[in-house]
Chains A and B, each alone.
Chain A
């Protein structure tokens, strides 16, 4: 009960801080807006109905943007903001444990990311009869979790919000751009299959083209491996300096 209280308090603090930070909240709004605007523009150009390839492109864009902007930036910047405003140490000297802070910090971004993934799926125009909802939710949850852990790594390394954005860019370049441009290059498409963002966009692209989804061993391995690696990197950095270097 005591742990739940503390966890709820951290999650509530994060919810208030993130939802009132315009620079952070622009991410999910931008994701939905981009997909919606692109859908209208693609529709105009293709005379109304979107081809499965265009729907796949929309899904690819929305999901990649969501996982990277909302994961790396939202989680990382929120921690960096706490360091900048000197509230992180206050929280850590109020009996909150490192684990409680970790979980409390990712609850809101994790839920939001999954909601945005569903919204992107709904507004993309994909036929829901072709979507394996359970599989999508499961892979979306796994990818969102990896993204949140990577965001925690960004937050751990960043000194301030500006610094968090700078650290996020190389990660975004790899995890957002490669799946996004996977449709344009065979090589990029191949690499994309080894990224957690690529696993989800590939799955969503399959829904758009009416290909029934079956779990592949490679997809599961990629998701588990990247989750484990990101957690290990986080723990290694956390053990060195905690959340904030003295």
Chain B
């Protein structure tokens, strides 16, 4: 395994009785990379995380985490990775500080690190508050703080901003980018395409248990930009969308020369459109 490849999934499949939940998944995660696993509910995102983190056994294929086959990992692997799911709970009757200090004891993390993480997630001022009294956004920040307390090499995030208000989601995005800067690798599952575009170095589009497409968000958007179009706003407030053709190029050129264009944008597809095009399916767009 390449030294900076922290995660390597090779031909992973998972069958639940009659249903095939994952089909021939192949993907790698490199050091300091954010990898997005995108797909609608039920596409196999959580199953993948559970297989990688040793909570579930694959039906076939090989999964290696930090150089070790997931079949051979034991509980000590959790000292090197952090896991956040949309259902990660907190001890509501404990204070924010106690919630972290208990896990600091488990991972032998010094007290100063607890303070550092609390400052990072902006919960230091709430450290004496019972965790059950935190808002949903603050709770999610506490969950994230707990997951990164022991400076894991890989952080698994299963729908980390699901159901959060936009400002909290933005603060979590900021924190994830900071963690990436520190060299942490992040495996992120989401059905929020905007989030994936903003955060991920590479994304894998998962549909019905299969990776339909994989690459950087920019690469994928350009790859599926088959009918090139341009969106223009003219000075007379008229909005036009023009396809790329010799006539339209001439028209745009003429408008430019006469300074009639207020703004111009290329219309490459969003990740959401790419997903629709690749799979022909909806992502549960209400959640996007």
Chains A and B come from one and the same complex = yes
Q: Counting CB contacts under 8 A, is B55 at the interface?
A: yes
**Chain A CB within 8 A of B247 CB:** no
A5 within 8 A of B: yes
Q: Which of A84-92, A169-177, A196-204 has 4 or more CB atoms under 8 Å from chain B? A: A84-92
Please classify how large the interface on chain B is, using the bins under 10, 10 to 19, 20 to 34, 35 or more. Answer: 20 to 34
Q: Is B244 an interface residue (CB 8 A)?
A: no
Q: Are B88 and A2 in contact (CB under 8 A)?
A: no
A23 at the interface (CB under 8 A from B): no
**B56 near A2: Cβ-Cβ < 8 Å:** no
A13-B91 contact given A95-B76, A95-B79, CB 8 Å threshold: yes
Asked if B75 and A87 sit within 8 Å, CB to CB, the answer is no
Q: Mark A87-131, 1 if CB is under 8 A from B, else 0.
A: 101100111110000000000000000000000000000000000
Q: Which of A21, A82, A94 contacts B103 (CB 8 A)?
A: A94
Closest to A88 in B: B89
Flag whether B105 is at the interface (Cβ < 8 A).
yes
Q: Is the CB of A9 within 8 A of B91?
A: no
Give A101 to B146 CA distance when docked, in angstroms: 19
Nearest neighbor of B80 in chain A, beta-carbon distance: A95
Contact B83 A6 (CB under 8 A): no
CB B250 to nearest CB in A, in angstroms, measures 61
CA distance A85 to B146 in the complex (A): 16
Known: A20-B93, A85-B89. A94 touches B53 (CB 8 A): no
Check if B219 is an interface residue, CB within 8 A of chain A.
no
Report yes or no: B89 in contact with A94, Cβ–Cβ below 8 A: no
Contact A12 B90 (CB under 8 A): no
A29: Cβ under 8 A from any B Cβ: no
* Interface residue? B98 (CB, 8 A): yes
Most buried by B among A9, A12, A94, A246: A94
Pair B105/A5 contact, Cβ less than 8 Å: yes
16 contacts between A and B (CB under 8 A): A9-B102, A16-B91, A17-B93, A21-B93, A85-B89, A85-B91, A85-B92, A86-B87, A87-B90, A87-B91, A89-B85, A89-B87, A90-B88, A93-B78, A95-B106, A96-B106
